[in-house]
Copies of this chain bind each other. A is one copy, B any other.
Amino acid sequence: MKTLRILAIDDHEMTMLGYKFILERIVFDDYNIIVDTANTYESGKQKIEESVHSFKYDVILLDVQLYPPNEEQPQNGEDLGVLTRKLVPESKIAFMSSFSDNFRINSILQSVDPDGYLVKTDIDPKTLEEAIKTIVTNPPYYSSKALGAIRKKMSNKITLDEKDKQILYHLSIGTKTKDLEQYIKLSPSSIENRKRHLKSLFGTENKNDLALILAAKKRGFI
């Protein structure tokens, strides 16, 4: 009997117990599934580092948000994913996220290229089981809402450079146009130009920023 080691990292202890309960009862070939857990960035990081020189985890489940919202988030699941890929490239990584916002999904798909991405509202015992099996045998596994975001992006002809993306992102979180220059290395008038250009790309000429943001959301950019 082989052992399948899973590490689940989530800051909500009860959520994680739920995962552990489901996962350890999965019947999967002749695997014995063992779930290890951690509920802070630090303890998760430590377990991953320890695993490098002992047994390696087969699958690492990472919550994107490892701190209560509103709190400072010095480090999040994405950073931990990047680190894990470096330390233990043989471990499969899957993200679990409460929000299905495209910006985050796109970013994680590029920075970590995880073997799975599960939007939490898509998860139930059945899909979780399917996800684990797919991740182990034939990755990737993307849950339904994640696929929705991916579909939007793939069906898209518009390509934006980093600065355009940053402008859209900052506008979407409510940054004022006049403050944008603090975050983006461009003059105010260039930022205005780019905003105009973006609005014409997304077909929201002469409309306000909200219209632009909504159009960009619909197309999967934020």
Q: Which residues of A are at the interface with B, using a C-beta cutoff of 8 A?
A: 106, 109-110, 113, 138, 140, 142, 144, 147-148, 150-151, 153-157, 159, 161
Q: 10 A-B Cβ contacts within 8 A?
A: A106-B154, A109-B151, A109-B154, A110-B154, A110-B156, A113-B151, A113-B155, A142-B147, A153-B154, A159-B161
Given contacts A109-B155, A113-B154, A153-B154, 5 further A-B contacts (CB under 8 A): A109-B151, A109-B154, A110-B156, A138-B144, A142-B147
Structural contact, B157 and A151, CB atoms closer than 8 A: no
CB-CB nearest 7 A-B residue pairs: A113-B155, A109-B154, A159-B159, A140-B151, A109-B155, A138-B144, A110-B155
Chain B min CB distance to A203 (Å): 17
Q: Pick from A106, A140, A144, A154 the residue with the most CB of B within 10 Å.
A: A154
Residues in chain B near residue A153, CB distance under 8 A = 154
Determine which of B138, B154, B161 lies in contact with A154 in the assembled complex, contact meaning CB atoms within 8 Å. B154
| A140 neighbours in B (Cβ, 8 Å) | 147-148, 151
